[in-house]
Structure 1
Amino acid sequence: MNSFNLVDDPWLRLRCAETGEITEVGIADALLNAGSYGELVVDLPTQLPAIMRQVLLPIVLDALGSPADSKEWARRFAQGRFDERERNELGAYLETHRQRFDLFDPAAPFAQVGDLRTSKGETKGSALLVATAATGNNVPLFASRTEADPLPLTPAEAARWLVHAHCWDTAAIKTGVVGDPKAKGGKTTGNPTGPLGQLGVVMPIGRTLYDTLLLNLPIGVGGWLGTPQWKRTLGPEWEIRAVDGLLDLWTWQSRRIRLVPEDTDEGPRVTRVIVAAGDRLSVIPDKEPHTAWRANNPSTKIGRKTTTSSPLRPLRHTPGKAIWRGLNALLAVSGNEHVRGFETSELLDQLGGLAAEGLFDERYPLRVETFGMLYGNQSAVVEDVLHDLTPLPVAALRANADVHEFVLDAVDQAEQLAQAVNRLSDDLRRAAGLDPIPWDKAQRPGERVLHALDPAVRRLLHGLQNSTDADVVERAQEAWEITAVRATMQVADSVYASVPENIFAGREYKTDNGTNTSFGLGHAFHTFYDRIDNVLPFAQKERRKVASTTISGRPSMKRRYWDRVDEDGGWLPFDPTIKEFGPPPGEDLALMRRGLDTRAYELWEMCRFYTFKVDDDEARRGRVSREQEAEHAALALYGLHQQSKRTSMHRPGIGLGVALRRLRNHGKFSADAIDARVTAAATTIDPDALLLRLRGLVDLLRTIDQPLDYERLMWLIYDWHYEDRRRRARRRWALEYQVWNRQQDSDAPADSTDPEAMAS
């Protein structure tokens, strides 16, 4: 006769806390040496809460009892391991119930019904227990085996999947068995999923197995313990009922199961099973400690009827949503007036209370692990397993702590940044004549922001575990906002790179109130920058710094020809020994204008105006650098612009877009005509075409004596040779032309004309 007793035989895989080695042990070894083991190693993440609730936690709670108060809990937690008295009591408890933990006992096998059978003596493959194996309608994508392939399970594997089935089994039709009065036609219908499948499971995790056990023990539940399943006698019949206590809840037998072992050359293997209907919860008790809760309306009116329901319902996890994005629910502890509509799990609320009493070290490396199951096709198949793990500062569980408020603010900021990028995408698509991406039809770019921020948030939570001083929190907030703004700007750049290059002036579209409005490239980014600055007040300087780095350029060892003016636009004093100062001679300007129809170094007389060093390698090939081409073009345009002018047409700090905006507002020319010319220039992708259009625009600027910054213009021409730089230059141009209104009627100071840096 096969025998596999879970008390002594190895089936729990545990990692040694000191060496990290993984070893398989029985229940007795795991509990008696819980302080020496770290984490449970499982086949599937959802096995962890199943093993903890179905086996380890109820044994500890039933054998040692619940901590009577917070001081007793703190005393037991501080031990770091079970003391001698507790070890003796655990050993005696396991010895008393040893027979009920035999996996293959013929009369009362663990978590099974010994004589379970169908009327025809049928069994099914063991894959029925394994959530990730192909069986019936539950066929994972790209599965390497079919239902016809046998899946031999070792006794240890069978034990782990057995308790997993009681917690997470699908809601499919179950086999009808002899003795089940509700079975019809050899099957039972209406089965709900396993009890954990109806929850969003939340478990606090400690440094060792012992710590994890204590972290998951509620305080003061001695009057609501109930009875574990191994103290009950189960038959094939089942019922719909309420739980009689925490032990009953944790060891709930949602299925009637029998494992059918067979002898092989490698030892006993489970290849066939029977899985039938089991007990059904009449209501999920509000004392369930391993889930957060969503506040429900006490009464809901449907048509003419008013239905009453529990004021709380379990909060299930959202697929694809990281755990930290749900911290508003996990931190909805007692006394928190900022988070409404949620209540955290009883265990996390308990830890917050212990920390407030000074009985739980706020620097403890607490982790929170979440588990869930996503079912499909009427909950009859498993579509996905939801699992996440994050560090959580203990101080964040205190409603009045600075860390608590900061963590909630950081999560809210991340969501707002994602929304800001989504709206930027919508605005850019409207400017291109496209419809915004529907929120429920595809992945929106804001999700990329949240993905980029994910490691930063987890590092932040880990860092806040080490210190909760006000100064540390303030520095952490500044560092977080700087990191967040950098990540957001990178995603925004990728969103901009995904739209056509002909976006500039935008298109008219109807708003929600029915009015027509025009939304261009500059408007889109100006609004986006405003949103970023409002969300991240500490990072405004960093955002402006990141934006200002989009301006190409580097210092020159020689003074550019047009650098003849001071910051106010006045000519620098003429020095006979340095002939570059003072108003430019007319013959120099005439020579530059001849350069409008030539390329760099084709007009040798202009070489004395160039400042960039000749690249010998390029010169041997008969080529000039992009920088030299850009400087030549800027000099030629400067010669055209400065012709017959007493004042300098080079003015540091006045971008091309600002100058053209003033041209548009001057009134001498039609605003529509100027818009058309500017749009034609800004949307070209060929540098030669850009120069041709700039020539006409500069000539118009000359007629109203409007100066501009030729250093910036030179680098804009340089940027036009490269797509990524061209896009950034076009964005800056659009911001200046479409949005920049500061001091339109006078020359703006040099330090205030970067539209990307001053968008707010």
Structure 2
Amino acid sequence: MSFNLVKDPWIKVVEKKSGHEIIVSLREAFRNSHNYLCLSGDMKCQDLSVLRFMLAILTTVYTRFDADDNPYEWIELDDHMGFTRLVDEYEEDDLFDTWEKLYGQGHFSDAVIEYLYKNIDAFDMFGERPFYQVTREEYDSFVTEKISTGKGTVSVRQINRRISESNNSPSLFSPKSEQKKDSFSMDELVRWIITYQNYTGTADKTKMKGMKDSISSGWLYKLSPVYAEGNSLFETLVLNLVLVNQIDRDNYVNQVPVWENDILDGYVESIKRLVPPDNIAALYTTWSRLMHIEWEDDKPTIYVVGLPVLDNKNAFIEPMTVWMNKKDNIVPDTRSNKSVNKAMWRDFGMYVNADGKEDRREPGIVAWLRELKENGCIDRMKLLSLDSIFVIRDGSPSNTPILEVFNDMNINASVLFDEGENRWPRRIEDTIATTQNVANDYIKMVKKVGLIRFHGDNKQARSFSEKYGLAFYDGLNVPFKNWLSGLKDSDNRDEKISEWKNTLKQIVSDSLNDFMKGAVRSEIVGSFGKNDKINNIFTAVSLFKNKMYKKLK
């Protein structure tokens, strides 16, 4: 059997010219990235996992070579293009120059392909050091139960995140039949192995010998990721290519993807310290499991042993997460099923620090885009697309993924990074707050009417208001995203905000018309409340309108 990620096709992409989905190798993906629209894997979380894997390669290469494929003057490399030592003073500006030239020429240089071929054995699924795997002897050395006992296995259906079926809990609504749940193509298996290391869950319980720490569920699983989306796969990759280390700006930090670790014991020991890596390439390729695959008649038996959870408090090396304050630390924000229907724009303040407050930290990718704009690497009028993808767990001890949620918002770079007293981010955040206040009043009004309809039953009234609340926000999402993407730093702030308020009034008016058309007799007749005042759908709507006009002024 033979399968090498460099030469054999496994990455799903969409061609820009034809619009067709095709499968390409790593070599083709990097060489022709400008001809592909985007990654097009089996799930969005799989695309993000593969994107970060590709970024680990690019970050490694372009922190050693410039856009003309020349090693930086201050660095010494070995025959495999690996870092050996610094020979002169590190120059951060060289990295910005490399990024700007790459972005300007619109394609990656030959150094990326050369690096892949210099390290081609590391990307072989069946080599002496199989890709993302350990050898049988290494696996046995880390676990109490050896392979011969049959312990510590996971099935293909468990790794496949469209199924996520453990041995104890069958997936009833699987996209594959029972007979096909463990079937796969090699390209599919490779993509799911990379994804599984990022979104693992904890259904498998095998730990390393002597390990007392909790087993990891995957680094990405504990984030609420945000990243930039470009007009092509090349642009997506390069916009997310953070070449400057955000933790240590003064010193060169060598990028060490997992395949560049010479000794597995050293890699495992570094993870056992529970401290995240100090470089992006290592972080993007961090394992949550030691994996070994035994093959028999083209069928795999997959053995895994859990690695401990890495501490993500103040882990600012991670650029693709939203942050939140928790006690005395800043930690990645995690989303629950309550966030499923919440559009990205409603949390605008989590993605950009509108006030410049020290206790609010922007996602690293937003800070990186800000630097690129300030350094003139991207046009100030560039329309940036920020995407968010997070995976919801089922709440069980196995942390099985049950749902992925995708969101996006487009905004002009000069607007997102506007400064000054009347800066756009502050005005946008205020506008969103006003919009959500109106939406909350609308939902309260619906609940009042629901209490009349359901004769005071609070549970039914709340369910009634939640239904109409979701519909109301659905009606807001597209108009607000269009308004946001159309903003320019040259716009009159007050006029553009008034424009949105007028749009909001029209959306409210349309929603009220639909809501009142469904009124039943009890809501129309109503009942007497305090001071013999009548309560019905008309009084509730009238009170809501008065509040809205005051807030919208």
**Are 1:252 and 2:286 matched, yes or no?**
yes
AA aligned opposite 1:128: Q
Q: 2:362 aligns with which of 341, 344, 359?
A: 344
1:129-180 Cα offsets, whole Å, 9 max, x none, are: 111213335544523656675522211111100000000111223346xxx4
**What is residue 697 of structure 1 aligned with on the other side?**
none
User: How far 1:387 moved relative to its partner?
Assistant: 1.8
TM-score normalised per structure 1 = 0.60
Q: Which runs of 5+ in 1 are unaligned?
A: 264-268, 299-309, 538-760
Q: Structure 1 vs Structure 2: percent identity of aligned residues?
A: 20
Compared with structure 1, are the counterparts of its residues 517 and 169 closer, same or farther at alpha carbon in structure 2 (3 Å cutoff)? Answer: farther
Q: 1:99 aligns with which of 121, 127, 146?
A: 121
**What is residue 560 of structure 1 aligned with on the other side?**
none
In structure 1, C-alpha distance between the alignment counterparts of 2:123 and 2:172, rounded to whole Å: 36
Compared with structure 1, are the counterparts of its residues 43 and 525 closer, same or farther at alpha carbon in structure 2 (3 Å cutoff)? Answer: same
In structure 1, C-alpha distance between the alignment counterparts of 2:322 and 2:189, rounded to whole Å: 30
Q: 2:403 aligns with which of 384, 391, 400?
A: 384
**Are 1:501 and 2:502 matched, yes or no?**
no
In structure 2, C-alpha distance between the alignment counterparts of 1:349 and 1:436, rounded to whole Å: 45
Query: Residues 497-536 of structure 1 correspond to what in structure 2 (within 5 A)?
Result: 497-503=517-523, 506-508=526-528, 519-536=535-552
In structure 2, C-alpha distance between the alignment counterparts of 1:456 and 1:283, rounded to whole Å: 36
In structure 2, C-alpha distance between the alignment counterparts of 1:342 and 1:501, rounded to whole Å: 50
**What is residue 743 of structure 1 aligned with on the other side?**
none
Aligned residues of 1:152 and 1:271 also touching (Cα < 8 A): no
In structure 1, C-alpha distance between the alignment counterparts of 2:299 and 2:499, rounded to whole Å: 55
1:643-687 Cα offsets, whole Å, 9 max, x none, are: xxxxxxxxxxxxxxxxxxxxxxxxxxxxxxxxxxxxxxxxxxxxx
**What is residue 170 of structure 1 aligned with on the other side?**
201
**What is residue 217 of structure 2 aligned with on the other side?**
193
User: How far 1:453 moved relative to its partner?
Assistant: 1.2
Compared with structure 1, are the counterparts of its residues 194 and 449 closer, same or farther at alpha carbon in structure 2 (3 Å cutoff)? Answer: same
**Are 1:60 and 2:58 matched, yes or no?**
yes
User: How far 1:440 moved relative to its partner?
Assistant: 7.4
Aligned residues of 1:227 and 1:244 also touching (Cα < 8 A): no
Aligned residues of 2:450 and 2:460 also touching (Cα < 8 A): no
Q: Secondary structure at the match of 1:224?
A: coil
**Are 1:425 and 2:446 matched, yes or no?**
yes
Aligned residues of 2:316 and 2:364 also touching (Cα < 8 A): no
User: How far 1:508 moved relative to its partner?
Assistant: 5.0
**What is residue 696 of structure 1 aligned with on the other side?**
none
Compared with structure 1, are the counterparts of its residues 399 and 144 closer, same or farther at alpha carbon in structure 2 (3 Å cutoff)? Answer: closer
1:257-298 Cα offsets, whole Å, 9 max, x none, are: 2234455xxxxx555322321353134512210101112332
1:194-243 Cα offsets, whole Å, 9 max, x none, are: 11010001111112222222211224226334421101243697734213
User: Which structure has the larger Rg over C-alpha atoms?
Assistant: 1
Q: 1:241 aligns with which of 256, 264, 274?
A: 274
Compared with structure 1, are the counterparts of its residues 150 and 359 closer, same or farther at alpha carbon in structure 2 (3 Å cutoff)? Answer: closer
1:292-337 Cα offsets, whole Å, 9 max, x none, are: 1112332xxxxxxxxxxx2x1111232222222222211226x535
AA aligned opposite 1:250: Y
In structure 1, C-alpha distance between the alignment counterparts of 2:550 and 2:243, rounded to whole Å: 43
Compared with structure 1, are the counterparts of its residues 532 and 288 closer, same or farther at alpha carbon in structure 2 (3 Å cutoff)? Answer: same
Aligned residues of 2:154 and 2:303 also touching (Cα < 8 A): yes
In structure 2, C-alpha distance between the alignment counterparts of 1:240 and 1:138, rounded to whole Å: 33
**What is residue 325 of structure 2 aligned with on the other side?**
295
**What is residue 77 of structure 2 aligned with on the other side?**
none
AA aligned opposite 1:446: G
AA aligned opposite 1:163: I
User: How far 1:475 moved relative to its partner?
Assistant: 5.6
In structure 2, C-alpha distance between the alignment counterparts of 1:140 and 1:438, rounded to whole Å: 31
Q: 2:156 aligns with which of 126, 149, 153?
A: 126
In structure 2, C-alpha distance between the alignment counterparts of 1:524 and 1:404, rounded to whole Å: 34
Aligned residues of 1:172 and 1:380 also touching (Cα < 8 A): yes
In structure 2, C-alpha distance between the alignment counterparts of 1:436 and 1:342, rounded to whole Å: 37
Q: Secondary structure at the match of 2:13?
A: strand
Aligned residues of 1:426 and 1:437 also touching (Cα < 8 A): no
Structure with more relative contact order (C-alpha pairs < 8 Å, separation 6 or more)? 2
In structure 2, C-alpha distance between the alignment counterparts of 1:490 and 1:282, rounded to whole Å: 49
1:720-744 Cα offsets, whole Å, 9 max, x none, are: xxxxxxxxxxxxxxxxxxxxxxxxx
**Are 1:77 and 2:103 matched, yes or no?**
yes
Aligned residues of 1:369 and 1:387 also touching (Cα < 8 A): yes
**What is residue 109 of structure 1 aligned with on the other side?**
130
Q: Aligned Cα RMSD in Å?
A: 3.1
**What is residue 80 of structure 2 aligned with on the other side?**
none
User: How far 1:438 moved relative to its partner?
Assistant: 7.6
Aligned residues of 1:426 and 1:435 also touching (Cα < 8 A): no
TM-score normalised per structure 2 = 0.80
**What is residue 612 of structure 1 aligned with on the other side?**
none
In structure 2, C-alpha distance between the alignment counterparts of 1:446 and 1:456, rounded to whole Å: 16
Aligned residues of 1:175 and 1:274 also touching (Cα < 8 A): no
Compared with structure 1, are the counterparts of its residues 244 and 522 closer, same or farther at alpha carbon in structure 2 (3 Å cutoff)? Answer: closer
**What is residue 384 of structure 2 aligned with on the other side?**
366
Compared with structure 1, are the counterparts of its residues 469 and 262 closer, same or farther at alpha carbon in structure 2 (3 Å cutoff)? Answer: farther
In structure 2, C-alpha distance between the alignment counterparts of 1:205 and 1:445, rounded to whole Å: 32
Aligned residues of 2:373 and 2:380 also touching (Cα < 8 A): yes
Query: Residues 406-555 of structure 1 correspond to what in structure 2 (within 5 A)?
Result: 406-430=427-451, 433-436=455-458, 443-464=466-487, 467-471=488-492, 476-503=496-523, 506-508=526-528, 519-537=535-553
Compared with structure 1, are the counterparts of its residues 420 and 155 closer, same or farther at alpha carbon in structure 2 (3 Å cutoff)? Answer: same
**What is residue 7 of structure 1 aligned with on the other side?**
6
Aligned residues of 2:34 and 2:233 also touching (Cα < 8 A): yes
AA aligned opposite 2:217: T
Compared with structure 1, are the counterparts of its residues 440 and 348 closer, same or farther at alpha carbon in structure 2 (3 Å cutoff)? Answer: farther
AA aligned opposite 1:294: M
Q: 1:205 aligns with which of 229, 245, 249?
A: 229
User: How far 1:3 moved relative to its partner?
Assistant: 1.5
**What is residue 79 of structure 2 aligned with on the other side?**
none
In structure 1, C-alpha distance between the alignment counterparts of 2:190 and 2:461, rounded to whole Å: 44
**Are 1:393 and 2:393 matched, yes or no?**
no
User: How far 1:365 moved relative to its partner?
Assistant: 3.3
**Are 1:354 and 2:380 matched, yes or no?**
no
In structure 1, C-alpha distance between the alignment counterparts of 2:192 and 2:126, rounded to whole Å: 15
User: How far 1:65 moved relative to its partner?
Assistant: 0.4
**What is residue 258 of structure 2 aligned with on the other side?**
229
In structure 2, C-alpha distance between the alignment counterparts of 1:119 and 1:372, rounded to whole Å: 38
Q: 1:313 aligns with which of 318, 323, 331?
A: 331
Q: Which runs of 5+ in 2 are unaligned?
A: 67-91, 140-145, 246-250
Aligned residues of 1:414 and 1:453 also touching (Cα < 8 A): no
In structure 1, C-alpha distance between the alignment counterparts of 2:375 and 2:532, rounded to whole Å: 60
In structure 1, C-alpha distance between the alignment counterparts of 2:254 and 2:533, rounded to whole Å: 66
Compared with structure 1, are the counterparts of its residues 21 and 428 closer, same or farther at alpha carbon in structure 2 (3 Å cutoff)? Answer: closer
**What is residue 275 of structure 1 aligned with on the other side?**
304
Compared with structure 1, are the counterparts of its residues 130 and 497 closer, same or farther at alpha carbon in structure 2 (3 Å cutoff)? Answer: same
In structure 2, C-alpha distance between the alignment counterparts of 1:437 and 1:493, rounded to whole Å: 25
**What is residue 142 of structure 2 aligned with on the other side?**
none
In structure 1, C-alpha distance between the alignment counterparts of 2:433 and 2:461, rounded to whole Å: 19
